[in-house]
Amino acid sequence: MGDVGIYNAYMTLSGAYDADVTRDERMARRTTCRIGGPAALFCHAHSLQALRKVLAVLAHEHVEWVILGKGSNILVSDGGYDGCVIELGREFSRISFGDDGIVTVGAAVPLSRLVRETLSHELAGLEFCIGIPGTLGGAVSMNAGTRRDWISRCIESVVTCDLHGMLHRLSADEVAWGYRTTSIDPASVILEATLRLRGGTKRDISARMNALIAHRQRTQPVGRPSCGSVFRNPAEGSAASLVEGCGLSGAREGAAQVSERHANFIINTGGATADDVIRLMTRMHDAVMDTYGTDLTPEVKFLGFGA
């Protein structure tokens, strides 16, 4: 891959039906931590036809690609990404309510919208998603949730598109679901998921949501730019308590700071770079390893950092 491949892909996709393509899109505008250099290509694919076209062109030109939702849980390098960032658009932003608590949700639907609409239909089961940034597709790909609840518990099936544009429907029991992981092929694109929720009352559902919102506001740096939890919780204890136990709450590297409210969050205090975050993550990891012998695994995904 190189500049020629990027140029050829851009010229071909610029005329693609139902796709919007730009060059050198600053990823700091597209990520919740407000960090990241430019993506060589940025493409909105608004339909399955457009997505198939995009994937075919990128494969032909040997251009790497990645799917982006709302830009949470991702750290893009300061040098950017020498590939194509794909964002799913209109056709993948639909929610359809069926009988018996069945809800079909497009991968591009923000979790915040999904939670609101299931509440309006008096369907319970997704309260734990309140306040979790990102889209349904991203939530499925990493089995998002809390210590007690995760989205795989609600999933009936998932529809994906492979590199050849073929669609596959996977029942929930065909997927191995783990803590922040799934066995869904990372080279495929999650298009939609069918969920099964249970009936409830707006009063009860709202009460659970409000309690979770209040808890998040007390314990997390809500409203501050961050990429969410930077490390997965170990089998015993929590990453936040380990980092805090090392005396690193409030620690800084450049404009990146370990949150004093939740030590597994790194906040951008203004103008932080990806290098700042990496240095701070390294300090956190090494301190926990030296103090507790626990090898923390990053939960945040890295883009544009090379092999």
Dist CA 150 CA 173 (whole Å) = 15
- Treating both helix axes as pointing N-terminal to C-terminal, what angle do 111-120 and 202-219 enclose, rounded to 10 degrees? 150
Number of C-beta neighbours around residue 190 at 10 A:
26
- 113 three-state secondary structure: helix
25, 127, 192, 299: the catalytic one is: 299
Smallest Cα–Cα separation from 30: which of 90, 63, 76, 66?
76
CB 179 within 8 A of CB 102: no
Dist CA 281 CA 48 (whole Å) = 38
CB 94 within 8 A of CB 191: no
279 in active site: no
CA distances from 140 to 32, 286, 297 (A): 19, 30, 20
180, 196, 208, 224: the catalytic one is: 180
CB 287 within 8 A of CB 246: yes
23 in active site: no
Dist CA 131 CA 157 (whole Å) = 24
CA distances from 257 to 263, 269, 283 (A): 9, 7, 12
Residue length of the chain: 307
141, 152, 229, 259: the catalytic one is: 229
Dist CA 155 CA 170 (whole Å) = 10
Dist CA 64 CA 159 (whole Å) = 22
229 in active site: yes
Catalytic residues: 180, 229, 299
